[in-house]
Structure 1
């Protein structure tokens, strides 16, 4: 096989299905796909979702990320005529929104699948695990359904906390099916987007109501992370969406594999430049946008009339090292793990900070070692894919949309704090196998920064 054939396989490969190839548990790509086709998820929703934008953000994030990961399908028991309260789409009710995202509406939830519950539902279920997603203010979390007495108040609405809670619930259900976390579905987990160094159940973690939203942003990279930023940004209650100015920068074209990780990629936009597909999404949301279709480097300067707040979601170390060289006032960047052991990891940085971007992203020697001796790759070799092609394919990262969604919520929360003159964090580093063991480093005396802001819709 030649490089074109290798690229064709890589471009259609579901980046989460690749996990089964890279652990050696699947003897072929086809076996890995069959394995993930057995993964199914059920969601039970209380009637109070009709009155809570944040519960709706939880539900839509669950459906959007899970349908890309649980390839056997996502079934949802929800009142389909509940009005849509989040500015996700032009759909008038939740049923239409759930269907548009790939969920299946049902009134009879399976008892054989992992179950996620939100809102006022019974606190007992016969499923192998039953997880409750909950929120209050800037805090989102999960707990076993049987512990619903510890549910958060769910009174202070904040859509990014809904994105966080929904993605955490999907992560937990996925870990249960993968059997890599014995406590999955039987523990509590959560995070405060206001004070991530605190316990998510601490009353001080709830955070304040805010009245301003960021209005001017430059997005570098429009894959898993960049689209996760836009997903959460699109949930925010802008009083005047036309006040929002976005610069969208990427050089690549959407491939079928992007649909497995990227929350705004659907089959109908595959083959289109990422910038143009996301600009179309921005227009539908009511935002203004400009596009740049080239790699990010230090060979330009940000103009005074362009966004000075950058959100970076690329995995190229050279591009990340150049982030402070072009004149942005503040940069918020995130990275995800990409291997079988670390794909559940995420890390965010804010620059300027205690360390320079060029110090964080110094050139490092890259190991060329790839596990092409694993059964799935040996089968591809037997089918004619040469060693170079195998190495290239094995080198593609494992990726999960629910991890990107969590990192995206953390990054947008950082932008929201900036827009409201609040504190910042140099580093937030966590792993979803156990989120309690995270590293959070507050910024010390950050320089004053005004990214541009516009009012919240009241």
Structure 2
């Protein structure tokens, strides 16, 4: 459609929020950022270290157009991914430049493990088993690095802090943040780092394989699995140009454009050892559940109406993930858990009225960025831009880590949040709206010991 369309759902965080006067200005501000992800030798061969580095590389490149992975050596990937057999090969396939020395042109540095701080703006990834987040300084040493889910979350939050500098138009102070991915609704305690042994679901149904659904797949693929495992993948859409900037599995280049999203997810999960079953149509609540079907549904849909239909469909357990809407709320994560198709009253607010949604779109069309955009794409193209939602890849990655963490809790016969609200600007201040009852019986899992 236009040179601005490919990254439009990222740049809309600036244009729609009044932080950039045009899409061209928004693109230019993102392009000025040059991120170094520095991976220390102490974390090069750990599950969390590899997951953090590749998550930071993938999301930074999608946001800013370029990223460099800095590391002294190389190591085989701990998990099997369809992007290479080593950390270096995987980073290059994700679009990174790889070097042994920090770039003199880097504007921001993400540090993982024992690495020099340098003189420029930098943020450290930090974790200790189920605890994950970022640090401004070197005071806290990284702890247990055997859980990849924590690495995914830490890498995503680190890129979020770089993006916050772009939104502010200046470098802002790094924020220390610590979240327990085991109990994200509680203030993290350094004395409670979560279990070393737990169960992982061995049968899952993934519905919607765009921004959020691909983040679920990304996190699952970093978990070392064993035994027979099945994922049902359901989505009717094809990969389009704007998906490259928002969806973790869509790699640089045009090879995957026009491919069905379920088939892309299928490649990743099969490579990681999962069996798959593909459904290339919408779920309208009309697919009968069989005794051998996965008991846990992970939903990553955009629209509320089909989510409400699925919530009442009768899955033994459903985890629904959503993100905030609009430029002021694109970092908000919501997670809901529904048991046996019986969502509590008021779990979702009422769908917005059509006239309210239309009024919001009209408000954007009068802004300078959209007036200028019309000269390139015409009236219809301008409306399409305005109707598209803001979607930034690090938000999806962080959401994937939170959701998979809670799916693991359910498989381990622990309760999960009925409703959880988290803002990535302050992820350690999550809001809880009650817990489900703990499952009474194991619905299918494999035991994992770190």
Same fold (TM over 0.5): yes
Match of 1:101 in 2: 94
CA deviation profile, 1:325-371 (whole Å, cap 9, x unmatched):
32210001110123111111111010129953785254331421221
Match in the other structure for 1:159: 148
- The equivalent of 2:408 in structure 1 is 416
Residues 302, 326 of structure 1: 8 Å contact kept? no
Contact preservation (8 Å) 2:22, 2:372: yes
Equivalence for 1:284: 271
Deviations 1:196-233 (A, max 9, x none): 123234322x1011243211000010001000000000
Residue 39 in structure 1 maps to residue 28 in structure 2: no
Cα 1:298–1:449 change in 2 (3 A) is farther
Deviation at 1:180, TM superposition (A): 7.0
Change (3 A) 1:434 1:221: same
Asked if structure 2 preserves the Cα contact closer than 8 Å seen for 1:225 and 1:408, the reply is yes
1:316 aligns with 2:306: no
Which residue matches 1:364? 352
Give the superposition deviation at 1:115: 0.9
2:69 is aligned to 76
Q: Deviations over 1:123-174 (max 9, x none)?
A: x3201x2111011111111011xx212234x225211111011111111111
Q: Which of 131, 134, 143 does residue 139 from structure 1 map onto? A: 131
Distance across 2 between alignment mates of 1:198 and 1:157: 22
Counterpart of 1:443 in structure 2 is: 435
- 1:20 partner SS: helix
Tell me the distance in 1 between the aligned counterparts of 2:426 and 2:369: 29
Closer, same or farther in 2 for the Cα pair 1:445/1:93, shift >3 Å? Answer: closer
Which residue is 1:246 aligned to? 231
How far did residue 419 of structure 1 move?
1.4
Give the Cα separation in 1 of the matches to 2:187 and 2:29.
Answer: 36
Instruction: Report how many residues are paired.
Output: 441
Distance 2:208 2:4 in 1: 19
C-alpha RMSD over aligned residues: 2.4
Asked if the contact 1:10/1:393 (under 8 Å) is kept, the reply is: no
Q: Deviations over 1:165-201 (max 9, x none)?
A: 111111111112322797541x201210112123234
**Residue 8 of structure 2: SS of its match in structure 1?**
coil
For 1:15 and 1:331, the matched residues in 2 are separated by: 27
> Matches of 1:51 and 1:280 in 2, distance apart?
24
| 2:250 pairs with one of 265, 271, 275 | 265
Q: 1:148 aligns with which of 115, 133, 138?
A: 138
Counterparts of 1:247 and 1:268 in 2: how far apart (Å)? 24
Contact 2:213–2:299 at 8 Å: present in 1 too? yes
Kept after mapping to 2: 8 A contact 1:220/1:250: yes
Unaligned runs of 5+ residues in structure 2 are none
Instruction: Give how far 1:121 is off.
Output: 1.6
CA contact (8 A) 1:53 1:157 kept: yes
Secondary structure at 2:209 match in 1: coil
Unpaired segments of 5 or more residues in structure 1?
A: none
What is residue 339 of structure 1 aligned with on the other side?
326
Aligned equivalents of 1:170, 1:357: Cα separation in 2:
36
